[in-house]
Structure formats: structure tokens, C-alpha cells
């Protein structure tokens, strides 16, 4: 088996996305965001958006793949966090 | 000002690395890792390592830059977590 850069990119994408999944699932399920940091998730979501944009610019499938999934997850968490801050004090 | 893909890459790198900094600083300062997930940080650190490897393979400076810094931070957190699990029950 030849290990191409593409395979390494997808291994990287799978690992970092998988590491983020448990938090995303927990937050989407419980909608509890009290112990999450608004500034951290704002920076992270914006960063993932720019990584996705970067992937599109340089036409890199692994980067587009990883950051599309992570953006949906991170944006969902951020949405719940902002909603809770605005309407439920946390 | 012309926005090049390189600038977008560095904006992305700065944002995602910055979002990770407060947790890294807190953990390195306090060495308290009780509320951190070993499996999450193992996956994340491995993933960042593969992103770094990917950056080197495709000679992408923004990816190398972002993941070098994040790898040092993530690996430090993982080190404290493993140390605490082995010697301090958490």
C-alpha cells in the first residue's frame, strides 16, 4: 500500500473531526452549554470557516471535507451557546 | 489590499490556534486535567500530528505553522493527562 499525501490528509481529518464529535453530540442532545466558553467557540467556528474557505481556494479535498463537517458541528454548539446566553443566562 | 489564499490560511491558523490557547494555558499552569477527556485529547493530538505531516507533504506553510503550535499545546495537555491518570488517578 502506498501512503499518499491524500491518505494522510484524510487520516488527519478523521482524527480531528472524531475528537470533536463527543462534545458536539453531548451539546446537541442536552442543549446544555453552561460550561462552554463563548469566546473559544466563536474563535474556533470562525477559524474553521476560514480553513474551509482556504481549502476551497487551494482546491484541497481533505481540508474541505474535514472543515465542512466540523463547521456544522461547531456552528451548532455556538448557536446553542448564543441562544442560552441571550434567553437563559448561560 | 489583495486577499491571497495564503492570508486566508494564516487567518484560519491564528483563529483556531487562538481558540485552543486558553485551555492549554490553564492546563499547563494548573496541571489539573480531571475534567479533560483522555480519548478526546489522544485523537486530537494524533490528528494534529497528521495535519502537520500533511502540511509538510504538500509544502503548505499555513498548515505547518498552525499545526506545529497546536501540536506542542495539545501534546502538553495530553502529557499532563496521562501523567495524572498514571500517578494521580485522574
The beta-carbon neighbor of B22 closest among A15, A40, A53 is A40
What average pLDDT score do residues B69-81 get?
A: 95
Q: Which residues of A touch B62 (CB under 8 A)?
A: 54
The beta-carbon neighbor of B58 closest among A5, A37, A41 is A5
The distance of A87 to chain B (nearest Cα, Å) reads 24
Q: Which residues of B touch A3 (CB under 8 A)?
A: none
Cell numbers standing for residue B8: 486566508
What average pLDDT score do residues A27-50 get?
A: 92
pLDDT tens-digit readout, A45-87: 999 999 999 999 999 999 999 999 999 999 999 999 999 999 9
Rg (CA), chain A: 15
The distance of A12 to chain B (nearest Cα, Å) reads 4
ipTM: 0.87
Q: CATH fold of B5-88, please?
A: Monooxygenase (1.20.1280)
Predicted confidence at residue A90, as pLDDT, reads 66
Question: Do the Cβ atoms of B31 and B84 come closer than 8 Å?
Answer: yes
The distance of B75 to chain A (nearest Cα, Å) reads 14
Give the mutation candidate from B6, B11, B16 for the A interface (greatest A CB count, under 10 A): B16
Report which secondary-structure segment, H or E, holds A88.
helix A61-88
- Rounded to two decimals, the pTM is 0.88
Which residues make Cβ contacts (< 8 Å) with residue B35, sequence separation at least 6?
A: none
Output the average pLDDT for chain A.
Answer: 92
Q: Which residues of A touch B53 (CB under 8 A)?
A: 8, 12
pLDDT tens-digit readout, B17-56: 999 999 899 999 999 998 889 999 999 999 999 999 999 9
Amino acid at each position: 500500500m502506498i501512503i499518499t499525501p491524500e491518505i494522510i490528509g484524510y487520516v488527519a481529518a478523521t482524527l480531528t473531526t472524531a475528537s470533536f464529535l463527543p462534545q458536539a453530540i453531548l451539546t446537541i442532545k442536552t442543549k446544555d452549554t453552561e460550561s462552554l466558553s463563548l469566546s473559544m467557540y466563536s474563535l474556533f467556528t470562525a477559524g474553521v470557516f476560514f480553513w474551509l474557505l482556504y481549502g476551497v481556494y487551494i482546491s484541497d479535498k481533505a481540508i474541505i471535507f474535514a472543515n465542512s463537517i466540523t463547521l456544522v458541528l461547531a456552528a451548532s454548539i455556538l448557536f446553542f451557546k448564543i441562544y442560552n446566553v441571550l434567553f437563559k443566562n448561560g
